[in-house]
Amino acid sequence: MTNKTLCIIKPDAVKKNLAGQIITKITEAGFKIKAMKMVRLSNESAGGFYEVHKNRPFYEELVKFMTSGPCIPIALEKENAVADYRALIGATDPAEAAEGTVRKLFAENKSENAVHGSDSDENAAIEIAHFFSRKELLENYAD
Ligand code: ADP
Ligand code: MG
């Protein structure tokens, strides 16, 4: 699944009603929305999604944050999707993010940082499958 990446508009940004502005930035940068939904994650779902970080000191805080309200996972498509989307959102910590990036514009801090982005093609495929069923993807990826 190259040319695909997973965005999540995180609970902080949904709560602040920033979803529309964030989606506009993403689509203006040339990404196509292939699948999207709004969901309130369970502890199991959020914990599983961030399994790779389970030994990090911030894991518990991260799962608590990601389950604190609804979030909006979005499967995106574009040439060079993973790298281009990470450039668009900026550094994990908004204080270190470049001017004009989504996190610089909309994020609170290193924990509540408005959006998720996949870090490789391989993880993008795994992460998209975490949120979207084979049926949803087949329907949406048909054209
Ligand atoms: P990214 O989301 O930029 O890929 P990571 O994969 O390193 O960043 O971390 C996943 C998420 O965990 C971050 O987006 C952020 O919400 C949270 N996080 C990362 N590092 C910290 C930290 N030092 N303190 C609190 N939360 C963190
Ligand atoms: Mg990451």
Output the pLDDT for position 143.
Answer: 56
Report the SS3 class of residue 128: helix
137 CA distance to ligand 1 middle (Å):
27
Q: Which domains does the chain have, with CATH numbers?
A: 2-137 (3.30.70.141)
User: Mean pLDDT per segment of 10 residues, for the chain of length 143 residues?
Assistant: 90 98 98 96 98 97 98 97 98 98 97 98 97 87 59
- Token pair for residue 84? 């281009």
Ligand found nearest the CA of 86? 1
Alpha carbon of 73 to those of 13, 23, 41, 57: distances in Å?
12, 11, 11, 25
Alpha helices in the chain (DSSP H): 11-15, 19-28, 43-49, 59-66, 81-89, 102-106, 121-131, 134-140
Q: What is the pLDDT of residue 2?
A: 75
Terminal Cα distance for the chain, rounded: 15
Test site for ligand 1: of 6, 52, 110, most ligand atoms within 8 A of the Cβ: 110
Active-site annotation, residues:
116
Q: What is the pLDDT of residue 142?
A: 55
Q: How far is CA 91 from CA 37, 39, 103, 109, in A?
A: 25, 25, 7, 11
Measured from the Cα of 112, ligand 1's closest atom is 16
Which amino acids bring their CB within 6 angstroms of ligand 1? Answer: 53, 58, 61-62, 92, 110-111, 113, 116, 119
Cα 116 to ligand 1 centroid, rounded to whole Å: 9
Q: Is 76 helix (H, G, I), strand (E, B) or coil?
A: strand
- Please report the pLDDT score of residue 141 as a whole number: 66
